[in-house]
Amino acid sequence: MGKKIDLVGATASGLQTLLSSGETTSVDLVRQSLEQMELHNTRGLTLRAVISAAPEGLALARAAELDAERAAGKLRGPLHGIPILVKVRTYYHPYDEVWIARGSRKPANLERVLLP
């Protein structure tokens, strides 16, 4: 494994600098991200904040592809090779009155929120 990265305090531009300089790889970032999810989500703090993630093998294979593209000089954009986690909060029954953010409220027309 490459350089250990503080993923909590890292910025996208900082990670991109490390990737560009060769100090780390996308594969290393994915491994470390998965380790941190395991550590805090299901062990340790048991946050249970991540309910779904790409299978490890698939995530690592995709990271390797992105590393190969970087080595060939092909970058897709500013987040090329940086693992991301998207937290989605949707309204669902029976937890319809549970809202995460202070001051948040149930949308007036849920169909309009979820469907175009």
In a domain, 111, yes or no: no
What total number of domains does the chain contain? 1
Measured CA to CA in angstroms, residue 59 lies from 33, 93, 97, 106 at distances of 10, 31, 35, 34
Dist CA 23 CA 65 (whole Å): 18
Cβ within 8 Å of residue 8, ≥6 positions away = 36
pTM across the whole model: 0.74
Exposure on the CB side of residue 88, measured as CA atoms within 13 A: 8
Residue in this structure with the two tokens 């190969």, named with its chain if needed: 68
Domain of residue 55 covers: 1-89
Question: Residue 29 in contact with residue 83, Cβ under 8 Å?
Answer: yes
In a domain, 101, yes or no: no
Q: What is the pLDDT along the chain (116 residues), one digit of tens a residue?
A: 677 899 989 999 999 999 999 999 999 999 999 999 888 888 878 888 887 888 999 999 999 999 999 999 999 999 999 999 887 665 555 555 555 555 555 555 555 444 44
In a domain, 102, yes or no: no
In a domain, 67, yes or no: yes
Q: Quick one: 52 exposed, middle or buried, by C-beta within 10 A (0-12, 13-18, 19+)? A: exposed
In a domain, 107, yes or no: no
Dist CA 49 CA 38 (whole Å): 11
